[in-house]
Amino acid sequence: MSGTAFLQLRDALQAALLAAPALAGGRVYAGRTRPIAQEEASAINLRLSDTQATHPVLQATDWRTVVIVECAARAAPGGPAADTAADALLADAHTRLHDFAAPGLGLLQVTDDATVEWDHDADDTAYTCATLRLTVVHRTPAATLQPWN
């Protein structure tokens, strides 16, 4: 993997959501500006929000990185309501990421202080986005932004 520990963490979380059976029919994205394309019935988008470093101890820095997981859905004729579809994606994503483990990323824990924010819209079809905010604690060597191995 290349990039800093932060992008590697985001990409590993995306891979966890894409593991079989992939959530949202495999429509799991990283770093999208809009969580769902106009033609998609549902999708999940992961973004990094902010990261706080602790004071380095024993040549290591622990980071608290907030990851945004947008679980978005549109109502489809004959299908579930947008709220119901987004809620199901949210439940599946939370379950999948709660016990997330990724060797080689210096992962310490996914904290239990998650929050969820709901957003609704109804231009042409009803749309709901349940945004899950997770805090992931991970470690890097004090002098770099590469994951702790």
Cβ(10)–Cβ(97) under 8 Å? no
Tell me, yes or no, if the pTM score tops 0.75.
yes
pLDDT at 103: 84
Cα 38–134–87 angle (5° rounding)? 45
Candidate from 39-43, 99-103, 129-133 with smallest mean pLDDT: 99-103
pLDDT tens by residue, 23-55: 999 999 999 988 788 889 999 999 999 999 987
